[in-house]
A and B are shown apart, each in its own frame.
Chain A
Amino acid sequence: MDTIIIDERIDVGAVFKKNIIKPRWFVWKGRKYAITEVTYTWEDTQGAARVMHFALSDGNTLFEVSLNLTSLEWRLEKSSVV
């Protein structure tokens, strides 16, 4: 499996509903990616900040996107293709 580490700040459109965050799209390098499935979510910490991680699919590629719940910064962490 080819995984590319990206680690770049991105803009994300997400729905916040009943304590659940569902990213719908994100823009990376000027291109908008529509998310077809949130396949997995998990949490960890960076220092004192809680960070939510989302595994997102656009139908072709799996992206790992994170949201720092202190700074509210979204980052595209990785992308991978089997």
Chain B
Amino acid sequence: MTRTILLIDMNAFFASVEQAMNPALRGKPIIVCGRGRTVVTTASYEARVFGVKTGMNLYQAKQACPQVIAVEGDMSRYIDASHNIQRIAREFTDQVEMFSIDECFLDVSKTCRNEVDPQNIARAIKHTIREKLGVTCSIGIGPNKVVAKIASKMQKPDGLIEIREKDIPVLFALMAVQKLQGVGVGRHISEKLMSMGITTAGQLGNTPLEKLMHHFGIMGYRLKRIGEGKDDSPVDSSGGNELIKSVGHSHTFPRDTRDISIIRSYMMMLTEKVGLRLREYGLMGKTVYCTIRFGDFTSWGAQQGLKEHIRQNREIFFVAEQILARAFPLSKAVRLVGLSISDLKPRDTQQFLLKEMEKDTTLAEAVDDINKKYGVFTIKASSVILSEKFGIRPSCGMVSKQALKIKV
């Protein structure tokens, strides 16, 4: 059965939302940075012309484009825009998968069986997004998710490209393997492929499976399928209802620090956020992972497996502190800390034999209820105050798929 998949890829998303919001920024080179931070999160297309890229620091961006305007980002604005994009997509099909905050797959196969041209659907989506949000997107159309994603990257900004099944062999024969980055062929893999003499997507598809399995293990099968332009993965419209494998948060400090009390305070803050989400999902975890990113962007990370599943803040922080102690003394200033808990299972609903354990649960639930009603950190551990004074951004770290979920 032939499928028709669309990928909506928002163009320079955060920067475009800022330009839509502020007329004075439209048509100007801008960069979006975090509060008190100088790393470029997104550059507008006007800034990209001058060579400004994501990951540069403000100094490098100013060197490349002296007139560039730095704007402080606001994640709540981008999440809301992402929700609106989902709502628009759902006007065309109920098969919508929010792949990331600025990418969205649609399966319009059923609609297209009724002689509807998928390019007309794509044009209508682009028009609605521009009208309602004031931003542009590129849309790729293909017989599967991999090909739709490749198509979406072929024309930016404001592009619309359809790759039909019959066009794949000719197109892939000429397409460099580097162009497959973002669909499962990372930089290291494409470098390795090139060292093996595989320079185009078509060559990748024609390489014997045994050879790819020999060099890449089980990944070899996936690589061959990508090279052939094949992908059976469905558009997952469950909206983040898939199995949650881990719950985590990270936070970039307003400025780098070596102060252990501040780092501990941020870890406590992250513990409160992780614990709240864990209890919200009715889960408990058995492996705690802590990460530190230093000012020079090198990272350190360690994990600890536990004998029993945990879910209370006090328990999570106790383990996090033990892990963190392995990183001390710090050789460099720290810019980010992260905490996650995995090896999850549904929460036990057993009656506690010990009165103290039941007290802990009742207290945590009462605090969670208050924080859900009046806002995160309304009631918090006093040690979080230190990190609040140092600076906590309203929305920190990566945005989980759960946060992108909308009520349908």
Residues of chain A touching chain B, judged by Cβ–Cβ distance below 8 Å, are 1, 3, 37, 39-40, 42-44, 46-49, 53, 55, 57, 62, 80-82
Contacts and interface: CB of A to CB of B under 8 A. Distances in A.
B38 to A, nearest CB: 14
Interface stretch (B157-165, B308-316, B332-340, B366-374): B366-374
Contact of A40 (B21, B69, B76, B79): B21
Contacts of A42: 76-77, 80-81
Interface of B: 17, 20-25, 28, 69-72, 76-77, 79-81, 134, 371-376, 378
A21 to B, nearest CB: 15
Given A1-B70, A57-B23, A82-B24, A40 B373 contact: no
B20 A48 contact: no
A47 B373 contact: yes
A62 B74 CA distance: 15
B22 A46 contact: no
Nearest to B71: A1
A47 B25 CA distance: 32
Interface of B is mostly: helix
A40 B72 contact: no
Given A46-B375, A47-B378, A55 B81 contact: no
Contacts of A55: 21-22
A1 B21 CA distance: 14
Interface of A is mostly: strand
Contacts of A81: 24
A47 B377 CA distance: 10
B21 A44 contact: no
Contact of A39 (B21, B76, B80, B374): B21
Contacts of A37: 23
A39 B24 CA distance: 11
A39 B23 contact: yes
28 contacts: A1-B25, A1-B69, A3-B72, A39-B21, A40-B20, A40-B21, A40-B77, A40-B134, A42-B77, A42-B81, A43-B80, A44-B80, A46-B374, A46-B375, A47-B373, A47-B374, A48-B374, A53-B76, A53-B77, A57-B23, A62-B22, A62-B23, A80-B22, A82-B22, A82-B24, A82-B25, A82-B28, A82-B69
